[in-house]
Structures are given as structure tokens and as C-alpha cells.
A and B are shown apart, each in its own frame.
Chain A
Amino acid sequence: MKTVFARTPTLKDWPTHYCPGCGHGIAHRLIAEVIDELGIHDRTIGIAPVGCAVLAYDYLDVDMVEVAHGRAPAVATGMKRTNPEMIIFSYQGDGDLAAIGTAEIIHAAHRGEQITVIFINNAVFGMTGGQMAPTTVLGQVTATTQKGRQAVGDGYPLQVAELLAVLPGAIYIERCSLHNPAEIRKTRKAIKHAFELQVGGAQGLSMVEILSPCPTNWRMTPAKAMQWIENELTKTFPLGRLKG
């Protein structure tokens, strides 16, 4: 029998802890595929965030570290500066990167750190039970915006990709989505490009923001969650290459 599809070696055979319809599994697989395709498994270090993806090392078979909430870009800086030959990537959610870790991501980009950042934006704090994130869209109901997010008082959704794109130290910023197979293929291409830049020694930070479904905290079916990304989330977070 001919094998038409197989698990890529860097993706471990491990029962998932993610909820049904969650996007993390897709994102993990894309990263694992890119690592194997580029042949960088032996020299890659991944950084897991605080959030649902804290256990990313259970799925990704490369050397990995788990760090304090939001500090991944600082940890990545420490790693890359002392090990320029290694490929360093951080995997961060929107609470991690866009709330508590805002200073670290801005300054890592500002210094032009040669790292790759995978930013999973699902518009809520997932692990803690669906509280408002900086990326929560206006009107969105969360555990801490029970009448929907209001601009006055709760603030506007924070567009980190747009913020980073204006910094000279950020060389590649793209926003992608996992809401259908075509977008997943585009996401894979973007992740590959971000890693390739680092492999090629490009002088600066690359980040791929990925709009990712959280059906559990959005109180939707997985299918509905995908539609909501396409119809609602992309209005606030338009897809496409912002830089590079």
C-alpha cells in the first residue's frame, strides 16, 4: 500500500490535551512540518508560552523550554545571542504576547533579534477560562466582558502585528488564519518563510500572527468558530503581509 500521508517526524505521537476544534494542533503540525522540511530539527529550540500551549513540548520533538508569561522574546534573545547558529522560535498566545509580554515582543523586534515568533491570536485568554484579551474584538462577549467589549473602559483591540511592522528591526510580519484549508496552506507558507529568514541569517525578527479558533471559550461549534474568524475576526485583524 502506498503511503499518501504520514505524521511528520518532529510532531510527536501524543494524545492531544486541546479542546475539540482548537487551532493549536494545526499550528503545531505546520511548525513541525516546516522544521522537518528545512532540515533544522537538530538545531532548533522552541519556547512554549504560558497558556493552553504551555505543553507544546509534548507535541513538538525539538529541544524546548517553558518560560514565564510573556517573557518568551527575552528568553529567545538570551538563547539566540549566545547561540547564533541555533534556530530559535517562540510560540505565544495573545494573552502572553499582546498583554503581559508587550514590552518583551516590542523590544525584541526593536533590537532586531534574529528570532521567529509564532503568535496565536484567538481573541481570548484560553486556559484561564475565556477572559478578555487585548485582541478581543469590540462587542465580543468574554468571561470578563459579559455584555460585550466596550471601547470605553475595556479599550480597543490591540493590533500587535501592525505595531511591530513599523519597527525597522522587524523584517517580516504576516497575519494568517486557520479558518479553511486554503488559509492553512498560506499559514504554512508564512511559517516556512519566517523560519527561512532566520536560517539564512536575515538581520531581524520575523513574526507570523495566526488567527486561531477557540470554540470552547467562544461558546461555538468548531464549524461556527471557523466561520466567525472569516466573517468577524478578520474585520479587526485583516489577513496579509504587513512587512517583508
Chain B
Amino acid sequence: MTERILMCGNEALAEAAVIAGVDAYFGYPITPQNEIPAYMSRRMPEEGRVFVQCESELAAINMVFGASATGKRAMTSSSSPGISLMQEGISYLAGAELPAVVVNVMRGGPGLGNIAPSQGDYFQAAKGGGHGDYRSIVLGPSGVQELADCMPLAFDLADQYRMTVIILADGMLGQMMEPVVLEKKPGRKLPPKDWALTGAKGRAQNIVRSLWLKEGVVEQHNYELQAKYEQVQKNEVLCEQYQVDDAEIVVVAYGIAARIVRSAVSKAREEGIKGGWIRPITLWPFPTEQISRAAEDFKIFLTVELSCGQMVEDVRLAVAGKAPVLFYGRPGGGVPTVEEILERIRQLTIPETSELHKSGLR
């Protein structure tokens, strides 16, 4: 399939997962990602692969755990409330160092919230989510093509580092239709899965576990996990930036928010405001260095999210007090318009109106 075709994000990512060689999909219905299990229920049997509609998200993530423990490529998808239920399994996957791909098509929360697009699960995804000192790799695509392109990368990263990779999309990305090209590209060279449970034939038994009762063993296990996470932080950061060098204001946004920001910054440039933007593609590992570098020359940072401000904390950590970091966002399904963001950029940069000028910060 190398021609450009029109697809919604949910179906595009599902087909991209099939192309990436997913052996098994396990899922439970929840809006706004229902196109994924529907698509997989048809496509996976066509390929002789596994589709199971599970009794719960708890079961889904544990089926992923089971398939992954045998060395298979397994994935699940859900939306915010369902992803909350999966946190137990994600923690166990981290403890047992099993690869897994989890798609979160975020919706408004907390609680049952609504089914509108949101970025309210950033903390949950990027900071851990379940119990214990662990990380998941988090990808935040901003269009249907990138959402599809994330899938082979996610499976490769999961296998390479034996980690969970979370695709942090949102209801708008999942539902909107855009032209995509879906083709199989060569993947990474991956280590053999000699840890997998394939039957103890001609070798000692393999054990996949996360419990270590002997004193000091879990402490050591945690140091080893951290060393692995440092490698990910060092090697896997993905980030896009535009017109940052001469910018007086840099807008940081990911996912669908970055699409709106892009238009707002272009309009600001048309008005003579020197704007630029930074778009983290990996939310963990976070592009701390890129943002830190951008903050070397004094700029105003504005973070825009479909939330009350979650990623902004990581932007502040990266900027480390070198420049003011402000926030604009709308939670619970509210989507900022280009004009709203542009107005915020104007407020912050035009001397007569700037709150920063008034407050003496600038």
C-alpha cells in the first residue's frame, strides 16, 4: 500500500501496526478509539494473527503481557479511563522488562469525563502512571501520517529496550481523516528475544518475573532499569523546531495542540512578532536539551496544551529559570483556536500590553 489514501487516525495506526508486524491485538471498546478494535477484528484474522475483545482493560493489558512474554509483538489501545485501568499491567510490564505498545486516544477527564479530545493524561504517561520507579517511552504524534509512522517505531523501541511504548494521541487525531502513505520500511536491528518463554527445550528454563525477595535485588534491578532509561534519554529524543533562533517567543506544544500552535505562530510572524515553536515528539524522553538550548538566548516560552498544564512542568525544568515559562490551555475537551493562541502571543510580546513588561519581568 504505497499510494496516498484517506484514513482516520485510528484506522491508520491500526493498519500501520499490522504492517509493523503486530502478532496480537487485545482491546476493550471505549470511545473515541473504537475504530481500532473494529479494524483489527477484521484485519488480524485476515493475516492469520490474533484479535481478542477482552472483558476489561485489565484483561487486555495482561493478555498483552502474556503474548509479549512469549516473544510476540502485542499491542492494545484504549482511551483515558481504560488506560487508567491498565496502569497495573504497565507497571508489571516495566518490572518484568517486557515490550508492549499501548495506544491512548485521550479524552476529557477526570473520571468518565467526556469523549472530546484532551491531553490530560500527559502526567500519567510521561511520569510513570503505575506504581514503582519506571518509565514508558511516550510518543506524541501530531497528524495522521505521523501517528501511523509512530507504530513501527514504537514496536522497534519496545523490542530494543524491552519497555512499554505509549502512543499518546487524542480524540481529534483518532477521528480526523488525512491522506496517509502506509508502507513497510526496514526496521531497526533488534536484539534476539532469548528471554522469551518459548518452551525450555535444550536450554535452562526462562522465568519472566518482577518479584525479587532477596535483600538488595530489587534495588539493583531498579539501578539497571535506570541505566536503561538513561540510554533511552540519550539516544531516542525526537523533537521538531521552527524559527526558534531569532524568536522572542517560543511556543511549546505536542500532538494536536502543536498543529494549532503552528498556524498561530505563522500568523504572529505575519504580524511581525518573532515567534517560533518547539514540538516534542517523544514526551518521554523529553527534549530537555533542545529546550534548554533555546532558552540560552532570552526568550519567552509559552506552552500550549489541551489540559490545565502538565507538560509545562517539564518545559519549566528544561528552561530552569533562564526565561519566563507561561501556559495557555483548555481542559476537559476544550480546544484552543488559532486566534486564542495568537492573542496570547500578542499579549506576551507587544510591549504596551505585555503582562511580562508590566510585571517587570521584561
Does A219 make an interface contact (CB < 8 A)? no
Measured CA separation A82–B68 after assembly (Å): 9
Q: A104-B55, A107-B55 are in contact. Are A81 and B200 (CB under 8 A)?
A: no
> CB-CB contacts of A56-68 with B at 8 A, as 1s and 0s?
0100011111111
Contact status A65-B205, CB under 8 Å: no
Determine the chain B residues whose CB is within 8 A of the CB of A48 once the complex forms.
209
Does A36 make an interface contact (CB < 8 A)? no
- Stretch from B59-67, B143-151, B290-298 forming part of the interface with A: B59-67
Determine the chain A residues whose CB is within 8 A of the CB of B199 once the complex forms.
42-45, 62-63, 86
Partner of A66, one of B23, B88, B211: B211
List the B residue with the shortest CB-CB distance to A85: B199
Q: A42-B200, A45-B199 are in contact. Are A81 and B211 (CB under 8 A)?
A: no
Determine the chain B residues whose CB is within 8 A of the CB of A42 once the complex forms.
199-202
Contact status A75-B69, CB under 8 Å: yes
Rounded to whole Å, the gap between the CB of B92 and the closest CB of chain A is 5
Determine the chain B residues whose CB is within 8 A of the CB of A57 once the complex forms.
205, 207, 209
Rounded to whole Å, the gap between the CB of A160 and the closest CB of chain B is 16
> CB-CB contacts of B268-283 with A at 8 A, as 1s and 0s?
0000000000000000
Contact status B201-A64, CB under 8 Å: no
Contact status B50-A75, CB under 8 Å: no
Does B206 make an interface contact (CB < 8 A)? yes
Does B52 make an interface contact (CB < 8 A)? yes
Rounded to whole Å, the gap between the CB of A237 and the closest CB of chain B is 25
Does A78 make an interface contact (CB < 8 A)? yes
Contact status A71-B62, CB under 8 Å: yes
Does B134 make an interface contact (CB < 8 A)? no
Q: A42-B199, A43-B199, A82-B24 are in contact. Are A65 and B69 (CB under 8 A)?
A: yes
Rounded to whole Å, the gap between the CB of A63 and the closest CB of chain B is 4
Q: A71-B89, A104-B55, A104-B59 are in contact. Are A79 and B197 (CB under 8 A)?
A: yes
Rounded to whole Å, the gap between the CB of B134 and the closest CB of chain A is 14
Contact status A75-B23, CB under 8 Å: no
Measured CA separation A74–B55 after assembly (Å): 9
B32-88 interface with A by 8 A CB criterion? 50, 52, 54-56, 58-60, 62-70, 72, 74, 88
Rounded to whole Å, the gap between the CB of B59 and the closest CB of chain A is 4
Does B337 make an interface contact (CB < 8 A)? no
Interface of B: prevailing SS: mixed
Contact status B55-A79, CB under 8 Å: no
Determine the chain B residues whose CB is within 8 A of the CB of A77 once the complex forms.
52, 59, 63, 66
Does B26 make an interface contact (CB < 8 A)? yes
Does B198 make an interface contact (CB < 8 A)? yes
Contact status B200-A66, CB under 8 Å: no
List the B residue with the shortest CB-CB distance to A86: B199
Measured CA separation A67–B62 after assembly (Å): 8
List the B residue with the shortest CB-CB distance to A41: B200
Measured CA separation A75–B100 after assembly (Å): 13
Rounded to whole Å, the gap between the CB of B87 and the closest CB of chain A is 11
Measured CA separation A104–B58 after assembly (Å): 9
Q: A63-B199, A65-B69, A68-B92 are in contact. Are A75 and B205 (CB under 8 A)?
A: no
List the B residue with the shortest CB-CB distance to A47: B66
A interface residues, how many (CB within 8 angstroms): 34
> CB-CB contacts of A100-129 with B at 8 A, as 1s and 0s?
000110110011000000000000000000
Q: A45-B199, A82-B70 are in contact. Are A74 and B207 (CB under 8 A)?
A: no
> Which residue of A61, A62, A66 has the most chain B CB atoms within 10 A of its CB atom?
A66
Contact status A74-B66, CB under 8 Å: yes
Rounded to whole Å, the gap between the CB of B41 and the closest CB of chain A is 14
Determine the chain B residues whose CB is within 8 A of the CB of A44 once the complex forms.
199
Does A234 make an interface contact (CB < 8 A)? no
Contact status B207-A66, CB under 8 Å: yes
Does A54 make an interface contact (CB < 8 A)? yes
Does A221 make an interface contact (CB < 8 A)? no
Q: A62-B200, A82-B74 are in contact. Are A75 and B211 (CB under 8 A)?
A: no
Does A159 make an interface contact (CB < 8 A)? no
Measured CA separation A55–B210 after assembly (Å): 11
Measured CA separation A156–B278 after assembly (Å): 60
Partner of A79, one of B70, B96, B205, B211: B70
Contact status B209-A65, CB under 8 Å: yes
Contact status A71-B59, CB under 8 Å: yes
Measured CA separation A74–B211 after assembly (Å): 19
Contact status B55-A63, CB under 8 Å: no
Determine the chain A residues whose CB is within 8 A of the CB of B56 once the complex forms.
103
Contact status B205-A62, CB under 8 Å: yes
Q: Which 10 pairs across A and B sit closest by C-beta, in order of nearness?
A: A78-B66, A78-B63, A75-B66, A42-B201, A74-B62, A107-B55, A78-B67, A71-B62, A63-B197, A74-B59
Q: Could you list 18 A-B pairs, sorted by A, with CB under 8 Å?
A: A41-B200, A43-B201, A62-B199, A64-B197, A65-B209, A67-B65, A68-B88, A68-B89, A75-B65, A76-B66, A78-B62, A81-B67, A82-B23, A82-B70, A86-B70, A103-B55, A104-B59, A107-B54
Task: List 12 other contacts, CB 8 Å, given A74-B63, A83-B70.
Answer: A43-B201, A57-B205, A62-B200, A64-B207, A65-B207, A66-B208, A71-B89, A74-B60, A78-B65, A83-B72, A86-B199, A107-B54
